[in-house]
Amino acid sequence: MGKSRRYRLRLDEVKVQAFQARLLAWFRRNGRDLPWRRTRDPYKILVSEVMLQQTQVERVREYYERFVQEYPTVQDLAAARPARVRESWEGLGYYARARNLHAAARTIERRHGGKVPRRLEEVLALPGVGRYTAGAVLSFAYGEPAPILDTNVRRVLSRIFASRRAASPAGGERRLWALAEAVIPAGKAWAFNQALMDFGATVCTARNPGCSTCPMRRLCAYYAGAAS
């Protein structure tokens, strides 16, 4: 999708397939039970992803459930007064997110007939939605093979598929987006993208990663380098 299709990657397909299989198997056993994973409602997924911007998962749990009870549909949120939406967000911080989410709901109601769009360009055009949030909505709500690249996913992919340093930060970012898209197994975007985030958050952590028991250690370039 987008620029990532134009970035040329050289990947070991056997390694990619092994990575996909091991990650999905790990997720089936260890995936976190999060309230926004119990729905495929694009609106509720959008709410959760906006809340998760710059905020820890555990802090979002209580706010998410309360918010979607108060505004169960995009129409309910679009019709709400800005002051009421601000009050509903009270305590979660980064209040521009609440304003953007409210504006996105009104845009969806006005331009898309009350349905969250499923085209990348249209999702990206919503207020407060960047490439990561758009990919999350498309893959988690619609099962589209849309890449996501947050801090956890970036770390996992960089460690497993390490390569020469890119000539520029922009080149490195393009490669990671292309990689995040290339490794999504056909028909399994929801589970795979969720698994990438969970694996980075709980096993392949920034500090003290669980390399000794990691199911990826035989595939991991980072582990191979550390062990040599």
Structure tokens at 213: 């028991």
Residues 116/129, Cβ–Cβ less than 8 Å: no
CA terminus-to-terminus distance, the chain:
37
Residues 169/78, Cβ–Cβ less than 8 Å: no
- Main-chain phi, psi angles of 44, to 5 degrees: -65, -35
Q: Is 49 a catalytic residue?
A: yes
From 49, 87, 90, 121, active-site residue: 49
Query: Measured between alpha carbons, how far is 104 from 108 in angstroms, rounded to an integer?
Result: 6
Residues 64/48, Cβ–Cβ less than 8 Å: yes
The H or E element that residue 102 is part of is helix 96-111
Stated length of the chain: 228
3-state secondary structure of 63: helix
Structure tokens at 15: 């390694």
Active site residues: 49
